[in-house]
Chains A and B, each alone.
Chain A
Amino acid sequence: MIVFDSVSKRFPNGHIGLDNINLHLERGEMAFLTGHSGAGKSTLLKLIMLMERPSSGHIQVGGHRLARLRRAQIPALRRNIGVVFQDHQLLFDRSVFDNVAIPLLVAGFDEDDVGKRVRASLDMVGLLDKEKLNPLSLSGGERQRVGIARAVVNRPAVLLADEPTGNLDPDLSADIMQRFHNFHQAGMTILIATHDLDLVRRMGHRVITLEKGRLISEGQLVSEGDAV
């Protein structure tokens, strides 16, 4: 589903974001992306959804070579990728409901369908009773969950999450991770960037560890030693 073929990303200021990454994520696979902050986790996710372009190498997502996508094809790619952003990227000029509905409106769902799907999605993150509120009046954790609801509302083929549990208490984090796991079982390809290693270990999925832009280890985390 997601293939990185010797991908490097060098920023204009000379900083090397990613260095010769080779990565293969199967369709329906769930994986964690860990590493210290600045290790390139966010950059890697951004490359997948074309928020950034690689300096060299090829990326394939869903069988499409991203370098070959025309500008007009990018929206179609993004509609197939749900993203949970680290900074939520919510809009404060509208209600929670309307925030979650954006991907559906963009993809052209009809109105009844939008209502149903948005409520289902909000119910999943436990915010059904807050649909009419403005995200401004929500706590950080709640905003995070709105972001998650928005990411999965149109059942994307790929789900990327950048620190989805960063602002959540442990119980809620575990709960959200369980939701992700359920999506995974439903066939979604999921890549989660996080540094909550405890949680990662408990989930028992493949872990990709980055350090200074290099991929240093792949595989399941078994003991504390593998984490770093």
Chain B
Amino acid sequence: MSRRDDNRGSDKPPRKAAVTTWRKTPPSQSVPESKKKPPQKKTPGRKTASRGKAQKGHTSSALGHWKILIALHRKVARDALSRILETPLASLVTVLVLGVAMSLPAALSMTLDNLRDVAGSSQVTSVRVSLYLASRITDDQASRMREDLASDQAIKRVIYISPSQGLAEFEKYSGLGEALRLLDNNPLPGVLEVEPKDSSPLAVSNLKNRLIRMGGVDEVRVDSDWLKRLNAMLTLGDRILTGVSILIFLAVLLAVGNTIRLLVVNRKDEIRVVKLVGGSDGFVILPFLYSGFWYGLLGGLLASVMASALWFAVSGPAQELASLYQSSFRPSFPGLEICLTLMLTGMVMGVLGAFLSSWRQLRHIDP
């Protein structure tokens, strides 16, 4: 009995410190260990080891804390990934769902980007004002008009297409040259193609009003209607993209959430035990967040691959179509940007989905 009291007396200060502060860091508890007798042979080794640790903990406790935290995260991340790889088939289904879902907005956004490129390239879409000249205007007169216009402040460029040039072009592209040759003389008027500096609708219509008053001009046509339509369609497309993206985000959240929910159910025992030995809610949820993270990342990766595959399938025909419009347009490859966006979004959605689905559930698993 007296021996016990001695022990208690001598142990009291360290124990008190360890217990009443309700220790948070590991090293502080290693002190009572030194009092332990058996197993004898182990004691000295452990004693020195724990003293070393304690000292290290004192000198760089903050740094050590972070190191341990990082090590923990790495371990948890690794475990989560290997758990996904352990059940390849079930995981694949989830990843596929995520990939397919996320590739949809990616493809849509790619399409819109490319269309915007088309709409933006001056070659195809810059506003052009065509002045159809009266038939009495000779080539010389037309050339003089061209020079006049070229010096105009509001005009960027003027091209004169003489009736014979027009005919040649018409023959080349329409295939109706034979029919035209049946006519006695060239029915086509000379055309001055004016490219305004400012392509805003107001400026163009002002210019048009000015040009129509020039002598020798039969008709002025502004070729911008289809551009307006394209722009309207692009705006609509943007809206649709936003809507689809939101829906897809929800779908990804639900898909990840459901997978994680099952995971939580399957690992209920583990969660119970971890909570019993003092695992905090954060510690318990961490593996699930990492599972969500990996699912999201893999889904994003797959979506990137799918978007690229889609590009390969579509770019050939798209180029062909563009060449029919005398455009050298080439659909741009889904760049790094879109892939990174996909993966990043996947990760964020994965973690968020995991969090939303497991937080309440984990709190309710109370040992």
| Contact A76 B7, beta carbon cutoff 8 Å | no
Residues of B within 8 A of A54 (CB): none
Tell me, rounded to whole Å, the shortest Cβ–Cβ distance linking A140 to chain B.
Answer: 18
Residues of A within 8 A of B29 (CB): 154-157
**Measured CA separation A185–B68 after assembly (Å):** 31
| Contact A157 B18, beta carbon cutoff 8 Å | yes
| Contact A187 B276, beta carbon cutoff 8 Å | no
Is residue A32 contacting chain B, with contact meaning CB distance below 8 A?
Answer: no
| Contact B42 A187, beta carbon cutoff 8 Å | no
Is residue A113 contacting chain B, with contact meaning CB distance below 8 A?
Answer: yes
Residue interface bits B250-286, CB-to-A below 8 A is 1, else 0: 0000000000000000000110111111111101000
Residues of A within 8 A of B69 (CB): 108
**Measured CA separation A181–B282 after assembly (Å):** 35
| Contact A186 B32, beta carbon cutoff 8 Å | yes
Contact of B49 among A91, A116, A187 (CB under 8 A): A116
Residue interface bits B1-20, CB-to-A below 8 A is 1, else 0: 00110011001100110111
Binds A, one of B33-41, B123-131, B135-143: B33-41
| Contact B53 A187, beta carbon cutoff 8 Å | no
Contact of B278 among A71, A79, A93, A157 (CB under 8 A): A79
Residues of B within 8 A of A76 (CB): 22, 24, 278
**Contact A110/B67 with A76-B278, A124-B39, A185-B7 known, Cβ cut-off 8 Å:** yes
Q: Which residue of A lies closest to B279 (CB)?
A: A106
Residues of A within 8 A of B281 (CB): 71-72, 75
**Measured CA separation A90–B277 after assembly (Å):** 12
| Contact B277 A91, beta carbon cutoff 8 Å | no
Residues of B within 8 A of A105 (CB): 72
Q: Which residue of B lies closest to A188 (CB)?
A: B32
**Contact A187/B32 with A51-B276, A91-B273 known, Cβ cut-off 8 Å:** yes
Residues of B within 8 A of A199 (CB): none
Q: Which residue of B lies closest to A158 (CB)?
A: B19
**Measured CA separation A102–B287 after assembly (Å):** 14
| Contact A155 B30, beta carbon cutoff 8 Å | yes
Residues of A within 8 A of B42 (CB): 120, 123
Contact of A64 among B15, B22, B49 (CB under 8 A): B22
| Contact A186 B11, beta carbon cutoff 8 Å | yes
Contact of B71 among A64, A85, A103, A110 (CB under 8 A): A110
Is residue B197 contacting chain A, with contact meaning CB distance below 8 A?
Answer: no
| Contact B33 A109, beta carbon cutoff 8 Å | no
Residues of B within 8 A of A107 (CB): 26, 278
**Measured CA separation A219–B273 after assembly (Å):** 33
Interface centre among A72, A110, A150, A179 (most CB of B within 10 A): A110
- Interface of B toward A, CB cutoff 8 Å: 3-4, 7-8, 11-12, 15-16, 18-20, 22-26, 29-30, 32-33, 35-39, 42, 46, 49, 53, 64-65, 67-69, 71-72, 269-270, 272-281, 283, 367
What 9 pairs between A and B have smallest CB-CB spacing?
A: A79-B278, A78-B278, A187-B11, A75-B280, A103-B277, A157-B19, A106-B279, A186-B35, A187-B32
- Interface of A toward B, CB cutoff 8 Å: 1, 27-28, 49, 51, 62-64, 71-72, 75-81, 83, 85, 89-91, 93, 102-111, 113, 116, 120, 123-124, 150, 154-157, 179, 182-188
